[in-house]
């Protein structure tokens, strides 16, 4: 079986065929024989002797694409005019734009949306700042803030390179929950500076979604902002991931018929996601959790430079196991990977308890390739959309913010996160539940509605809502 490290790349080859010399069938066989997968063909131009076609071909990686391009070019009667990567094409000029809600058609309209009449709106908000929720975009707008230090599993690639991910998150906020979101990538890694910038931009927003900020700084930044702001501040890589992980685990344990409290769980990568997932699992009643870092299993008897690891060692690993992943994973029921590619080996899985549950959630390349793990596991999930069971925070952040905004919540608290996790888990009905369907699809529109309703209700019940009469509107 072909094992690839990334998702298949879709390339559009613009080919000019000399129809006196060759035919399209020759292209198809050359591509097919060399492992390419033709998924679409468009005719661009036809003349007496030539035909120009755009042929969309899925290849394994860039080298594979280059190889197919040279083979086609070497063939008599075929000229490769251009090759475009479809993923780059969808990113040209960015992925989002600002669209006005109404048209300014005449001077009268202009005087209302802008000077002079807008001044009355400004004064009304000046007199009563809570009116910002009624009279500005604040009520439905979230800032997606990153410093580019932990972008997916790519690491510290900087604020410019982080933008495509943040634009993607903004797109998903809009498409799935009709929440407007702005990507804001900051050219600073100074935690206090980040806090003060986010605080300063907060008036425009109803919520702050922190994204891809490396640990341990992310904990300080989030805590400080939560203290300073009266709108929800939510580090997606921590809490969004933890919510979806818990949802997946609730359903996976139904399949293997093991009670939560009995589970032994190994978490690899004790950063933002790993810490939050662990806290969520502890809250769900799991007692035996072991955290594995590059230095080995976190245990008591050692003082770590990273303070959160000292907390971790205190609150997990009841038997105070030492050593590496191989020793930690013996007899484990669940593997949770939020680290990087290639961490988990088949040998590790073979040493797990019966019916192993493996959640290899590193992006874009999981801790083990699903094709390698599949024969040895009972339930397998990744963070990616191209395999079954996508455990990804996209199942949480649109709905949890929608619910929080709907309730005009001050914060997103534990009750709201738990409500979101159960709403996601319950979106898969018992009769639908299988090893390959423990978590609903991102495209299941029931999920956002279920999550936002449950979260808004939990906000009211836990006393953090500014608005108690909640009726959501969904424009999809
Ligand atoms: N599927 C999802 O929804 C989801 C959500 C959040 C994060 N993630 C993924 O989880 C990973 C971590 O993200 P984060 O935000 O927690 O980043 P982070 O930088 O806060 O933490 C990553 C941690 O993993 C550790 N690590 C890296 N390689 C390791 C290895 N081989 N063994 C042990 N530890 C290792 C790092 O030292 C660091 O402590 C990334 O790949 C990210 O894409 C997935
Ligand atoms: O961006 C994603 O796909 C999930 C998560 O936020 C991550 O950082 O990997
Ligand atoms: Mg992220």
Residue pLDDT, tens place only, 268-327: 999 999 999 999 999 999 999 999 999 999 999 999 999 999 999 999 999 999 999 999
CB 300 within 8 A of CB 306: no
Return the CATH number at 202: 3.40.50.10380
Domain shared by 389 and 290, yes or no: yes
Look up 474 and say whether it is catalytic. no
Per-residue confidence at 4, pLDDT binned at 50, 70, 90?
A: very low
The pLDDT of residue 294? 96
Please state the ipTM of this predicted complex: 0.98
389 Cβ below 6 A of ligand 2:
no
- Ligand 2 centroid to Cα of residue 241, in Å, is 8
Nearest ligand atom owner, CA of 153: 1
Among 453, 332, 433, 402, which residue's Cα sits nearest to residue 181?
402
Q: Is the pLDDT of residue 352 over 70?
A: yes
- Ligand 2 centroid to Cα of residue 175, in Å, is 17
The arithmetic mean of pLDDT across residues 223-239, rounded, is 98
**Residue where a domain stops, chosen among 231, 259, 274:** 231
Question: What distance in Å separates the CA atoms of residue 303 and residue 120, rounded to the nearest whole number?
Answer: 59
Q: Is the pLDDT of residue 208 over 80?
A: yes
- Ligand 2 centroid to Cα of residue 263, in Å, is 26
Provide the domain limits for residue 53.
Answer: 9-91
Going by alpha carbons, the residue nearest to atom 29 of ligand 1 is 339
Q: Which atom of ligand 2 lies at the shortest distance from residue 393's CA?
A: 4
- In the 8-state DSSP scheme, what is residue 155? B
110 Cβ below 6 A of ligand 2:
no
Q: Which residues are annotated as a binding site for (S)-malate?
A: 363, 392
Residue pLDDT, tens place only, 214-226: 999 999 999 999 9
The one catalytic residue among 48, 105, 114, 258 = 114
Residue pLDDT, tens place only, 72-85: 999 999 999 999 99
The continuous run of DSSP H or E covering 358 comes out as: strand 357-360
Going by alpha carbons, the residue nearest to atom 7 of ligand 2 is 152
Residue pLDDT, tens place only, 417-439: 999 999 999 999 999 999 999 99
Domain shared by 150 and 220, yes or no: yes
Percentage above 90 pLDDT, the chain: 95
Question: What distance in Å separates the CA atoms of residue 169 and residue 362, rounded to the nearest whole number?
Answer: 17
363 Cβ below 6 A of ligand 1:
yes
Per-residue confidence at 467, pLDDT binned at 50, 70, 90?
A: confident
pTM of this prediction? 0.93
The answer, yes or no, to whether the previous bond of 364 is cis (omega within 30 of 0) is yes
The answer, yes or no, to whether the previous bond of 116 is cis (omega within 30 of 0) is yes
Q: Is the pLDDT of residue 471 over 90?
A: no
Residue pLDDT, tens place only, 356-410: 999 999 999 999 999 999 999 999 999 998 899 999 999 999 999 999 999 999 9
Domain assignment present for residue 360? The answer is yes
**Average confidence score pLDDT of the chain:** 95
Residue pLDDT, tens place only, 6-18: 568 999 999 999 9
Look up 169 and say whether it is catalytic. yes
Domain shared by 200 and 290, yes or no: no
The pLDDT of residue 470? 60
The arithmetic mean of pLDDT across residues 248-259, rounded, is 98
166 Cβ below 6 A of ligand 2:
no
Q: Is the pLDDT of residue 473 over 80?
A: no
Domain assignment present for residue 100? The answer is no
Q: Which residues are annotated as a binding site?
A: 211-212, 237, 363, 392
Domain shared by 226 and 243, yes or no: no
Return the CATH number at 418: 3.40.50.720
Return the CATH number at 63: 3.30.70.260
């Amino acid at each position: 079986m072909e094992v690839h490290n990334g998702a298949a790349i879709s390339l559009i080859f613009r080919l000019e065929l000399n129809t006196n010399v060759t035919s399209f069938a020759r292209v198809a066989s050359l591509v097919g024989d060399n492992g390419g997968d033709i998924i679409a063909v468009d005719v661009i131009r036809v003349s007496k002797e030539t035909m120009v076609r755009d042929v969309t071909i899925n290849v394994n990686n860039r080298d594979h694409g280059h190889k197919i391009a040279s083979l086609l070019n070497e063939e008599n009667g075929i000229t490769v005019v251009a090759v475009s990567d479809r993923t780059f094409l969808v990113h040209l000029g960015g992925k989002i734009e600002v669209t006005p809600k109404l048209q300014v058609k005449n001077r009268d309209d202009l005087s209302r949306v802008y000077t002079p009449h807008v001044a009355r709106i400004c004064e009304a908000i000046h007199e009563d700042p809570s009116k910002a929720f009624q009279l500005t975009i604040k009520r439905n707008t979230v800032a997606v803030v990153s410093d580019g230090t932990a972008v997916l599993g790519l690491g510290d690639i900087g604020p410019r390179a982080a933008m495509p991910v943040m634009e993607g998150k903004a797109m998903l906020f809009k498409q799935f929950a009709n929440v407007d979101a702005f990507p804001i990538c900051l050219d600073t890694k100074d935690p206090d500076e980040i806090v003060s910038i986010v605080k300063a931009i907060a008036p425009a927003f109803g919520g702050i979604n922190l994204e891809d900020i490396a640990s341990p700084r992310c904990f300080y930044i989030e805590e400080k902002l939560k203290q300073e702001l009266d709108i929800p501040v939510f580090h997606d890589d921590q809490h969004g991931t933890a919510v979806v992980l818990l949802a997946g685990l609730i359903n996976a344990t139904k399949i293997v018929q093991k009670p939560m409290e009995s589970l032994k769980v190994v978490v690899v990568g004790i950063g933002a996601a790993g810490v939050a997932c662990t806290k969520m699992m502890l809250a769900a009643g799991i007692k035996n959790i072991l955290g594995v870092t590059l230095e080995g299993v976190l245990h008591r008897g050692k003082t770590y430079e990273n303070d959160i690891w000292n907390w971790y060692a205190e609150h997990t690993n009841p038997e105070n196991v030492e050593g590496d992943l191989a020793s930690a994973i013996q007899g484990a029921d669940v593997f949770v990977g939020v680290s990087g590619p290639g961490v988990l080996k088949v040998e590790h899985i073979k040493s797990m308890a019966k019916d192993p549950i493996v959640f290899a959630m590193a992006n874009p390349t999981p801790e083990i390739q699903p094709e390698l793990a599949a024969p040895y596991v009972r339930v397998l999930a990744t963070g990616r959309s191209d395999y079954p069971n996508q455990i990804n925070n996209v199942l949480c952040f649109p709905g949890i913010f929608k619910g929080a905004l709907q309730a005009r919540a001050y914060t997103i608290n534990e009750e709201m996160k738990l409500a979101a996790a159960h709403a996601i888990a319950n979106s898969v009905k018992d009769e639908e539940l299988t090893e390959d369907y423990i978590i609903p699809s991102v495209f299941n529109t029931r999920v956002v509605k279920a999550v936002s309703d449950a979260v808004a209700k939990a906000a009211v019940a836990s006393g953090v809502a500014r608005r108690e009469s909640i009726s959501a509107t969904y424009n999809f």
